[in-house]
Amino acid sequence: MIRWLAALFLLLSTPALAQPPAASPVADYITAGQDEPGYRSWYLAHPARAGQVKAFNDYLETHQVSEVVPTWQLLRTATSWARCGEQPFEIPPTLQWPNIVQTLRYIRDFVVPAVGAVEPVSGYRNPLLNVCAGGAPESAHKHYSAVDLVPLRAITRERLMQTLCAAHGRRGAAYHVGLGFYAFLRFHVDTSKFRRWNMDPAVASHCPPIVRPPVVTATASPADPQAPAVMPATSDPQPPLQ
Asked if the model's pLDDT at residue 214 lies above 80, the reply is no
* Cα–Cα distance measured from residue 24 to residue 53, given in angstroms and rounded to the nearest whole number: 24
pLDDT tens digits for range 48-99: 999 999 999 999 999 999 999 999 999 999 999 999 999 999 999 999 999 9
SS3 state of residue 207: coil
Max avg pLDDT among 9-23, 96-110, 209-223: 96-110
Q: How many CB atoms lie within 10 A of CB 91?
A: 17
**Fold category of 31-204 in CATH:** Muramoyl-pentapeptide Carboxypeptidase; domain 2 (3.30.1380)
Q: Name the average pLDDT for the chain.
A: 83
Asked if the model's pLDDT at residue 12 lies above 60, the reply is no
The amino acid occupying position 148 is D
For strands 118-122 and 147-151, give the pairing.
Answer: antiparallel
pLDDT tens digits for range 130-185: 999 988 888 999 999 999 999 999 999 999 999 999 999 999 999 999 999 998 99
* Domain extents in the chain: 31-204
SS3 state of residue 197: strand
